[in-house]
């Protein structure tokens, strides 16, 4: 796990002029976090809930690489377990957002007119309610489950996905190959499937990176406010919140998971930005 520390510093240093190195660093970091979240819990002795009472609030060192929290629980193990919660929520968010936004965006861009207007109204409505508050209400009424949190955050990413997809579909409608397909009488569904969806997918998937960071930050915020998974079940926001009271004496309890969260968001943002950048877009669209 020593590699965590070296890769941790790398994304921060990436210069924008050298995308391959930055991309490599971002992908490496995400792979390390994801693999750790998937594989480490399978190891014997992995128990983020187990408290070592002989070493409460121990600073980072051998034995506990990121230190222990006030209950003597290993901060690294809790951070890894928190990654599972964050990525589970993010996966659900992206699935809901892609599906909802994909269907609505395709419909709005394809049919235009009243359908477009109606969908525009629905997404406007969704955007005019404060997201965090609504998810908090739902969690307080229905209980904190990964499914409720992920699905609701996903619902609130639907307007953005819809906009992204709709814009691409509208632009495609003007392009020769779509009009040609229409003119030779290709069935609309076939045009959508064969000509439109393949062109929409890159933009939508690129936005999925953004949606993932939105979900990670939102889940963190919710847990931080006490509306996420119940402690002692670890989640990034929850662990960071737990360390608040000991910020003076044991800052690593909050700051270590906070650093992991920020680096993960940074890596995802960087990859999203790289995929969106004009130089790449030109090659993708050709």
Question: What does the binding site for another protein look like in residue numbers (CB under 8 A)?
Answer: 12, 15-16, 121, 124-125, 127-133, 136-138, 140-142, 213, 217, 220-221, 224-227, 237, 240-241, 244, 247-248, 251, 254-255, 258, 261-263, 265-266, 269-270, 273
Residue 25 or 172: the one with the smaller Cβ distance to another protein is: 25
Shortest Cβ 36–another protein spacing (Å): 19
Supply the minimum distance, in Å, between the C-beta of residue 150 and another protein.
Answer: 17
Nearer to another protein by Cβ, of 41 and 231: the residue is: 231
102 CB-near residues (< 8 Å, 6+ apart): 161, 165, 200, 204
Q: Which is nearer to another protein, 161 or 270 (CB)?
A: 270
Q: Which is nearer to another protein, 18 or 175 (CB)?
A: 18
The dihedral of CA 229, 232, 236, 241: what is its sign? positive
Whichever of 88 and 263 has its CB closer to another protein, that residue is 263
* Best CA proximity match to 150, nearest among 243, 223, 81, 259: 223
Distance of CA 272 to the CA centre of its chain: 11
Min dist CB 90 to another protein, Å, is 14
H-helix segments, the chain: 2-13, 19-39, 75-111, 113-127, 131-142, 146-173, 176-183, 188-191, 197-225, 236-242, 252-276, 278-285
CB of 63 to another protein, least distance (A): 25
Question: Least distance (Å) from another protein to the CB of residue 159?
Answer: 12
């Amino acid at each position: 796990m020593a590699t965590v520390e070296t890769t941790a510093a790398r994304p921060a240093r990436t210069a924008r002029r050298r995308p391959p190195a930055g991309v490599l660093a971002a992908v490496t970091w995400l792979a390390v976090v994801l693999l750790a979240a998937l594989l480490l819990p399978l190891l014997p002795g992995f128990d983020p809930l187990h408290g070592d009472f002989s070493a409460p609030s121990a600073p980072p060192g051998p034995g506990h690489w990121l230190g222990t929290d006030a209950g003597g629980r290993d901060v690294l193990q809790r951070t890894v377990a928190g990654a599972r919660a964050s990525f589970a929520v993010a996966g659900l968010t992206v699935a809901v957002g892609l599906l909802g936004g994909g269907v609505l965006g395709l419909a709005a861009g394809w049919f235009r007119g009243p359908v477009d207007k109606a969908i525009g109204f629905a997404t406007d409505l969704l955007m005019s309610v404060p997201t965090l508050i609504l998810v908090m209400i739902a969690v307080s009424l229905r209980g904190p489950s990964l499914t409720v949190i992920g699905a609701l955050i996903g619902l609130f990413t639907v307007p953005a996905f819809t906009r992204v997809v709709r814009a691409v579909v509208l632009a495609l409608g003007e392009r020769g190959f779509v009009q040609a397909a229409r003119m030779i009488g290709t069935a609309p569904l076939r045009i959508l499937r064969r000509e439109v969806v393949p062109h929409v997918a890159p933009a939508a998937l690129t936005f999925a990176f953004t949606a993932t960071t939105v979900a990670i930050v939102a889940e963190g915020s919710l847990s931080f406010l006490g509306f996420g998974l119940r402690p002692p079940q670890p989640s990034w926001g929850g662990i960071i919140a737990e360390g608040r009271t000991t910020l003076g004496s044991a800052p690593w309890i909050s700051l270590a998971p906070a650093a992991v969260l920020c680096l993960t968001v940074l890596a995802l943002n960087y990859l999203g930005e790289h995929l969106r950048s004009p130089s790449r877009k030109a090659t993708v669209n050709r």
